[in-house]
């Protein structure tokens, strides 16, 4: 049975002292034909349609409402186990996945390079087959996207990209849920990326146009996004009637943008390039000067961890900054990913209007 969202959310807000729960949350009609994602891999959002990504966001909102607002216990993953491979350290990805999987009744198992060294002490093929016999899914944070592709090819269970050199899809789901909650819908928003042409930008490029969002991205010369990703993003923009603008001018990218977005300039594994990168990114810090050319309703996102050279305190800690709701939503979105790939659960919350 579908809930009357507005009544339930208002009641929940009153009980919990919240006044913001439904202010910008618009609803559409229930989905007639349920999207089926069970058994799929999540390696990149380019492999998912508009409706499939919307479904994961809908499920995220459903779990957040039922568990956080209503206080329900939903052991949807009881009896299931998750292998968590981390070649890179993590705060949000590890905590959101480990606590979220456990909250749903499952058992997460954390594996570092001391426990499992992909393709070194054991071949990727053998690793994939062993993990497939002992766990129900694997989330892997790796250096190389090609390792994920091999794991997915050889495994008989879902493989989830927890971050690679090319993509970071689960971060973008959290970003979109955060913007959905704030703006009420995603269609028509202009995203302004200011920073490196990295895995975060690539994931935005593989999905924004599917929601009818425009993208204006500024990167320093020599740090542009991958050409193959750009080519596909241009195709998506054309198919969906959205605008894609790539420039080397941060203010040009920020002009008229609803959402100012940046990320670290020096990712793990790039420490030796620090001096060179800091010099190349001069002028790319997001400040109130940047915000002055943005839309009047501008907000700010950063996936964290943040360094002051990327965004100053005035923007980062301003009321326009959504970075901490964004961080929390990593948990609800990864929970939705796990539920959608491992179960037949259907959201009870009415489908949001995207």
Catalytic center residues? 303
* Whether the bond into 305 is cis, omega within 30 of 0: yes
Q: What is the DSSP letter of 27?
A: B
How far is CA 343 from its chain centroid? Answer: 21
C-beta of residue 301 within 8 angstroms of C-beta of residue 330: no
CA contacts within 13 A on the Cβ side of 8: 15
Sequence-separated (6 or more) residues with CB below 8 Å from residue 256: 190, 216, 293, 294, 295
Rounded to whole angstroms, the Cα distance separating 341 from 349 reads 19
- In degrees and rounded to multiples of 5, residue 339 shows phi and psi of -65, -40
Handedness of CA 329, 335, 337, 340 (dihedral sign): negative
User: Residue 141 in 3-state DSSP?
Assistant: strand
C-beta of residue 127 within 8 angstroms of C-beta of residue 151: yes
């Amino acid at each position: 049975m579908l809930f009357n969202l507005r009544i339930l959310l208002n009641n929940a807000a009153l009980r919990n002292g919240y006044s913001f729960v439904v202010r910008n949350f618009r609803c559409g009609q229930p989905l007639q034909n349920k999207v089926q994602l069970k058994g799929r891999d999540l390696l990149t959002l380019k492999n998912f349609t508009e409706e499939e990504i919307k479904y994961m966001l809908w499920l995220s909102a459903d779990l957040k409402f039922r568990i956080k607002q209503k206080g329900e216990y939903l052991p949807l993953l009881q009896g299931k186990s998750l292998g968590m491979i981390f070649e890179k350290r993590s705060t949000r990805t590890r905590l959101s996945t480990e606590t979220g999987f456990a909250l749903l009744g499952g058992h997460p198992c954390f594996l570092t390079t001391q426990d499992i060294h992909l393709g070194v002490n054991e071949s990727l093929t053998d690793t994939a087959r062993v993990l497939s016999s002992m766990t129900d899914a694997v989330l892997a944070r790796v250096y190389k996207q090609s390792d994920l592709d091999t794991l997915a090819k050889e495994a008989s269970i879902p493989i989830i990209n927890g971050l690679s050199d090319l993509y970071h899809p689960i971060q973008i789901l959290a970003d979109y849920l955060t913007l959905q909650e704030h703006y009420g819908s995603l269609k028509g928003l202009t995203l302004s990326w200011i920073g490196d042409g990295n895995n975060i930008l690539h994931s935005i490029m593989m999905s924004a146009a599917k929601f009818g969002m425009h993208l204006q991205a500024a990167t320093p010369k020599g740090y542009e996004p991958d050409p193959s990703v750009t080519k596909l993003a241009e195709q998506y923009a054309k198919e969906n009637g959205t605008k894609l603008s790539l420039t080397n001018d941060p203010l040009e990218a920020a002009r008229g943008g609803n959402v100012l977005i940046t990320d670290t300039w020096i990712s793990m594994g790039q420490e030796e390039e620090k001096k060179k990168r800091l010099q190349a990114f001069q002028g790319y810090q997001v400040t109130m000067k940047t915000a002055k050319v943005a839309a009047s309703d501008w907000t700010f996102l950063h996936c964290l961890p943040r360094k002051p050279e990327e965004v100053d305190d005035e923007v980062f800690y301003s009321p326009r900054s959504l970075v901490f709701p964004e961080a929390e939503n990593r948990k609800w979105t990864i929970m939705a990913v796990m539920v959608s790939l491992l179960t037949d659960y259907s959201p009870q919350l009415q489908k949001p209007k995207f």
